Structure 1
Amino acid sequence: MNFKLILLSLVLISTISAAGCNNIVKTGQAAKSEQSDIQRSALDIGERVAQWQIEHLENFDYLEPRYRKGTAEPRNWIQATFYIGLTRWTETVNDSALLRHISEVAESVDYKFRTKRDRHADDHAIGQTYLWLTEQTGDPRTYGFVQQEFDRILANPSNVDLELIEVEPKVWGYEGPCQDRWCWADALFMAPRTWLKLTNITGEDKYFEFADSEFWATADYLFSDEYGLFFRDSRYFESQSDNGKPVFWSRGNGWVFAALPLIIDDLPSDHPSRDRYIALYKKNAAGLQAIQNPNGYWPASLLDPNKVKTPEMSGTAFITFGLAWGVNNGILRDEKYNQSVLKGWQAIEKAIAKNGRVNYVQQVGKSPDPVKKEDTQLYGVGAVLLAASEMTKWAN
């Protein structure tokens, strides 16, 4: 071959290779930049919403009067959900000031539950924070009361039916007698992980053996294989929205879908139920991913986006957290889940005010209800903190 032609060929090959390498480098840099932007956004939002809420723990005038008393109780499920999110965030950023704040609040109530409803899952939620403090500090004071109460329940476990039937006269704080067990979707976020953490700390299997059995009794009862979604409770099995759609509540599903990663993370790797929790998680993830709104939010009524047309943050943040966890841990590998997480996170970004206030949080309830932009609540902040914690790890 002519020497000049050989030389020209080599030059062309070199040029094409260099261009290809440059394109690869540019693509890699763009991807790295995108990931860094997401991580920076997560760190910024987590810091702002945590700070705003901590600064507003002494005065709840920004809430409607009917919600103020329940919100102000640090042992109630409303604050408990905030602290579950805050403990995850504190671990993520390794913030000693936040750890100190959590410790002081828990100590101020002597690491106790509210005991007026001694079996109610909502009142066991704060135990997750006490037991998290045990893990962080090794202080045995943090779990003594929890163990005492759970031993009492184990000595006389309830066997009521899981059907939620309202009775008269109503018992304070109960929708129906079945709430002596975990007969509604929210309960699967509130209580089982407290029992699991107690087993992990004490080494006594009896606590999570009980919780594992109760969890699956409820999950098998409330989960719809047809839709991949959870009914809130038995009253919704045949319910239809105004538009003739089955009623699946966004936050109700968010409660369970956020609980599953938290439980799986705390389960020993060889636990016999681990695969079963992951299988349920995947089914729920598929059902939820398929019904995300184009704007990134999940509608308050999951199968009827026209029921409540405004954004809703508590369900959206819980679901975004759950999906991001699945992607980050290699459990959800399909690209559609990546895109859902990114859309969900962008929706969260839009709902956070500059000062860190979380907007569009449906108020306390049990079904899809109207939402206003100025509506906020501590459980919505907890959900955003869970999502922010997971998005700091985001990398496709």
Structure 2
Amino acid sequence: MLTAILGLTTVSMTACQPSQDTPNTPSETIASDIFAKDNIITVTNGVADWQLAHIDNFEDYVPSFQDRSREKRGWIQGTFLKGLADWGVRTDNDAYLAYLKNFAEEQGYRLEDRIYHADDHVVGQYYFILHDRYKDPAMIKPTQDVFDQILANPSDVSLDFGPDGTEEGYYKECLKRWCWADALFMGPPVWTKLTKITGDDKYLEFSDKEFWITTDYLFDEDAGLFLRDSRFFERREETGEKIYWSRGNGWVLSGLTDVIDDLPMDHPSRDRYIELYKTMSAKLIEVQAENGYWPVSLEAGHLYPVPESSGTAFFIAGLGWGVANGTLDADTYMPAIRKGWAALNDSVMDTGMMGWVQQVGYAPDKVSANETQFYGAGAFLLAGESMLDLHAAGHLK
């Protein structure tokens, strides 16, 4: 078993195993011990260990996109590896970091093969975290080489999601730029971090420009939320609401925190990023369900009472980051964070598997208690990191 190889300790999970019934965790029933530091570490390590033990054996829990899920440099596993890297650094877990280093070395620290596609860039995030730890230039060079190619010949395709792609790997032409909300998690943090590492402003300049082009295109200022892509400009739920996909907005919020962390304090766009983050955060606490989860369709929760854990985990990660560092008001946001963390604990089975994860998609869809995905576990690790930061800041006692 992989946990034994890594020398990790398998722990008994305190979270309950989800059933097919919708869980109900109203705020007055939340057990205080889930907020204890040791229990945050225990449940989050358990999610990490289960996913590591199923890195190559997940078919029973992932009913679709199994071939894509096996890609070692793809976005699905890449999101988990990024979460594991952040969690490993936050808890100073040498076993996790050694695993990641070996995993990355096997891939030669390469990105996936599509030069322009943001999904193929996300693994750069954990490579760069490893670089911060080990200071090996080989950990950043392949990513830097690809980004230099992009800068030498930047794509200028439209962000319209309609036109079919003309090259293999881009089923829509616009995928050569950040034309879908998820891309704002996959790409910009890598570009921003590369400037921080190298001191070369050109990577951040490119990312900043493209980020705001995408945001101006997809962000609905009236709602305070992102549409997933241009197909959703006109699409509506059956009762007339605009469709704001939970995980799509989760990708954006979580990615924003990494971009802001790595921006120079005097960067001219810094206040704009923070204002976007605050606007989204204020909206999100309005649309959280009473059971602590966020619905898969943020403005139409009445149509989707089923829990969904991956979007919820990204939101807890993002909101916790802001309260812990003082960007958000604790009195306003901690009730939502506590309810959300309780819901996430409820989504974790006794084995450590995170359930209620919507499968690969681009819009609200069905969710099952017994289905998971790598990116769900990755988001949970990011949420666990934020909970430890809240603990350190004195917001969890």
| Same-fold call, TM cutoff 0.5 | yes
* CA–CA separation in structure 1 for the residues paired with 2:260 and 2:33: 26
Distance 1:128 1:248, change over 3 A: same
Answer yes or no: is the 8 Å Cα contact 2:321–2:389 preserved in 1: no
In the alignment, which residue of structure 1 is the partner of 2:8?
none
Residue-by-residue CA offset, 1:158-207 (whole Å, 9 max, x unaligned): 1111111142x775443411111001000000011111111111111101
* CA–CA separation in structure 1 for the residues paired with 2:322 and 2:288: 16
Alignment of 1:142-153 (within 5 A): 142-153=139-150
State whether structure 2 residue 199 is matched by structure 1 residue 185: no
Match of 1:259 among 255, 258, 268: 255
Residue-by-residue CA offset, 1:10-30 (whole Å, 9 max, x unaligned): xxxxxxxxxxxxxxxxxxxxx
Offset of residue 156 of structure 1: 0.7
Q: AA paired with 2:172? A: G
Compute the RMSD of aligned alpha carbons: 1.6
Match of 1:130 among 109, 127, 131: 127
In the alignment, which residue of structure 2 is the partner of 1:62?
60
Residue-by-residue CA offset, 1:334-373 (whole Å, 9 max, x unaligned): 5231111011101101001111100000000000000010
In the alignment, which residue of structure 2 is the partner of 1:83?
81
* CA–CA separation in structure 1 for the residues paired with 2:321 and 2:144: 30
Offset of residue 67 of structure 1: 2.1
Q: AA paired with 1:118? A: I
Q: Secondary structure at the match of 2:389?
A: coil
Residue-by-residue CA offset, 1:276-329 (whole Å, 9 max, x unaligned): 111110001011111000110000011111332210011000011111111111
Residue-by-residue CA offset, 1:34-85 (whole Å, 9 max, x unaligned): 5884423321111100111111112222244542211111100001100111
Alignment of 1:1-396 (within 5 A): 37-64=35-62, 66-115=64-113, 117-167=114-164, 171-333=167-329, 335-394=331-390, 395-396=394-395
Unaligned runs of 5+ in 1: 1-32
Who wins on radius of gyration, i.e. which is larger?
1
Answer yes or no: is the 8 Å Cα contact 1:301–1:368 preserved in 2: yes
Q: Secondary structure at the match of 2:359?
A: coil
Answer yes or no: is the 8 Å Cα contact 1:317–1:383 preserved in 2: yes
Distance 1:64 1:353, change over 3 A: closer
- Which structure is higher in helix share? 1
* CA–CA separation in structure 2 for the residues paired with 1:278 and 1:251: 20
Q: Which gives a bigger RCO, structure 1 or 2 (Cα 8 Å, sep 6+)?
A: 2
* CA–CA separation in structure 2 for the residues paired with 1:336 and 1:233: 30
Answer yes or no: is the 8 Å Cα contact 2:313–2:379 preserved in 1: yes
* CA–CA separation in structure 2 for the residues paired with 1:379 and 1:274: 28
Unaligned runs of 5+ in 2: 1-30
Q: AA paired with 1:384? A: F
Q: AA paired with 1:126? A: V
* CA–CA separation in structure 2 for the residues paired with 1:270 and 1:387: 28
The TM-score with structure 1 as length reference comes to 0.88
Identity of aligned residues (%): 46
* CA–CA separation in structure 1 for the residues paired with 2:291 and 2:189: 32
Q: Secondary structure at the match of 1:310?
A: coil
* CA–CA separation in structure 1 for the residues paired with 2:128 and 2:204: 14
Answer yes or no: is the 8 Å Cα contact 1:231–1:249 preserved in 2: yes
The TM-score with structure 2 as length reference comes to 0.88
* CA–CA separation in structure 1 for the residues paired with 2:153 and 2:67: 31
